[in-house]
């Protein structure tokens, strides 16, 4: 499996990198949360733009990204506009989805963006092309909050992400049984064994999915999302605890 380097951080090698989602609604609250997160053992921050109260104000988005960039220093900033169709807090039009990401990419204030693989290819391909031209990495994602699809379906989605130009593939699913956990792990392990595969983020949500969040180094998932304050998905562990567990497994 290949690795991806962002601001000197090698994603896809060694311990899974710890990302903290920021889900606050205002710039002031985001600033406070980012400063708090930087006191913890984190590798990167995800700004969940779908929770931002001023999502219709492009100037406010860019200014907030600028402030976050200053606080994070060299830590990578991932910006995610998660749609309601995939468990997010906002449902933009396709045009709005494209335009928000275009402005963020061109601002040179963000290091990675998250694009949902089920968006129309007419939206995905130009954004991927622009991101790569501007040296911004693309995480391509898919989320299922109700079930764990079959291994065949998950593998097909990962392949589609790679075909569409993703730098990192991500899926987050809801395991309902031990068999579902094994499905996630088998898919992750299969992908990790591919010589030329892009890095993969494999997430099991909910209580049962916690084992997936900590086992990435063994089975091939390269980022784990932890909390400093509010969680963005069920089953996320507090960063301090997550870091401790990952350190123990890495010894």
Residue positions annotated with a catalytic role:
143, 170
User: Cα–Cα distance between 179 and 58 in angstroms, integer?
Assistant: 45
DSSP state of 54: T
32 annotated ligand-binding residue? no
Contact 80, 47 (CB under 8 A): yes
Kind of pairing between the strands at 112-116 and 77-80: parallel
Which helix or strand (DSSP H or E) is residue 86 part of?
Answer: none
58 annotated ligand-binding residue? no
69 annotated ligand-binding residue? no
135 annotated ligand-binding residue? no
Nearest Cα to 147, choosing from 223, 195, 97, 206?
A: 206
157 annotated ligand-binding residue? no
213 annotated ligand-binding residue? yes
Which helix or strand (DSSP H or E) is residue 236 part of?
Answer: none
86 annotated ligand-binding residue? no
The annotation places the binding site for 3-dehydroquinate at: 46-48, 82, 213, 232, 236
The annotation places the binding site at: 46-48, 82, 213, 232, 236
């Amino acid at each position: 499996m290949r690795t991806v380097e962002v601001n000197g951080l090698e994603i896809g090698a060694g311990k899974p990198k710890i990302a903290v989602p920021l889900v606050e609604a205002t710039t002031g609250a985001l600033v406070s949360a980012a400063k708090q997160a930087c006191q913890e053992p984190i590798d990167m921050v995800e700004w969940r733009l779908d929770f931002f109260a001023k999502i219709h104000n492009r100037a406010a988005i860019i200014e907030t990204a600028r402030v976050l960039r200053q606080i994070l220093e060299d830590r990578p900033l991932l910006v995610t506009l998660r749609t309601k169709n995939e468990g997010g807090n906002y449902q933009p039009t396709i045009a709005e989805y494209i335009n928000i990401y275009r402005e963020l990419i061109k601002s040179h204030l963000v290091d990675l963006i998250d694009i949902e693989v089920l968006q129309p290819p007419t939206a995905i391909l130009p954004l991927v092309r622009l991101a790569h031209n501007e040296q911004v990495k693309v995480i391509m994602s898919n989320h299922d909050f109700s079930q764990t699809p079959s291994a065949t379906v998950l593998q097909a989605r990962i392949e589609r992400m790679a075909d569409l130009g993703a730098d990192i593939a991500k899926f987050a699913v809801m395991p309902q049984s031990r068999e579902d956990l094994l499905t996630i792990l088998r898919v992750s392990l299969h992908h990790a064994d591919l010589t030329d595969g892009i890095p993969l983020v494999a997430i099991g949500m909910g209580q049962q999915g916690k084992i997936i969040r900590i086992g990435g180094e063994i089975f091939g998932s390269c980022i784990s999302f932890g909390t400093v304050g509010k969680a963005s998905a069920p089953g996320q562990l507090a960063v301090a605890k997550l870091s401790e567990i990952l350190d123990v497994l890495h010894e």
